[in-house]
Amino acid sequence: MLRIEIYQESAHYRMPTIGNPYLTYPLVPPSTFYGFLRGITKKESINHKNTKLAIGGKYEGISIEKERLYLERSKEIIQNIISIQCLHEIKSLVFVFTSFEFENKIIDGFSTFSGAMRLGRQEDLIIDYSISKIDENVKRLTYPSEFCAYANFTNDRSGALFNMPYDSLVDENKNITGYRFINLLYMPCIKMDHNIEFIGDGFVYS
């Protein structure tokens, strides 16, 4: 298992069904993180079927910013100014449960990546990170007490419910054709007894 910590000064993890203003998820969505892992491992087929994610984190502030969007048509370029919700001072903590082969490829991807790492939009730079292997026999893995996390939806839980992209759907040429969605709760880690809960199958590592 891998433990990945990421720090960003600002980020926008867009809710695809929301228009103007563009709203952000409070934590990086699983689909974005799967895409990030594929990006740093040179398009390796890391996906929700062979790799499980547990996502937690926190942010220090939130703001609404203005941004110019340009739509190019055959005879003109149309300019729109839209409002975008942004998170600030984001700390993400992601546990990755996958094969030994993929663990090594992900670690190698981090260490050999050239250029600026991004998580979210092009401008959402990763300022700092750490990655380490965790012994799966560790008795208890926990999130920091001030963190929130994504949890699998059940009727007996309370939290902010989001229907969000779980992972991308691709054709035979690995071109994205759509997304697989999942219902997840965003909730304080203390309500999860700080347990590491992997998205999709309800597996709790404690």
pLDDT digits (tens, 9 = 90+) for 52-81: 999 999 999 999 988 877 777 777 888 888
Q: Which residues make Cβ contacts (< 8 Å) with residue 186, sequence separation at least 6?
A: 25, 26, 27, 148, 149, 150, 151, 159, 160, 161, 162
Smallest CA-to-CA distance from 102 within 137, 57, 53, 141 is with: 53
Reported as a single tens digit per residue, the pLDDT across 80-92 is: 888 999 999 999 9
For the record, the structure tokens of 83 come out as: 């409002």
Domain ranges of the chain: 2-200
Q: Please give the backbone phi and psi of residue 40, each rounded to the nearest 5 degrees, phi first.
A: -80, -15
The torsion defined by the Cα of 66, 72, 165 and 48, in degrees rounded to 10, comes to: -130
Residue 196 pLDDT level (bands cut at 50, 70, 90)? confident
pLDDT for res 70: 75
pLDDT for res 138: 57
pLDDT for res 203: 46
pTM exceeding 0.75: yes
101 DSSP assignment: H
Which range in 36-45, 103-112, 161-170 is most confidently predicted, on average pLDDT? Answer: 103-112
Which CATH class, in words, describes the domain spanning 2-200?
Answer: alpha beta
> Is the model's pLDDT at 137 over the cut of 60?
no
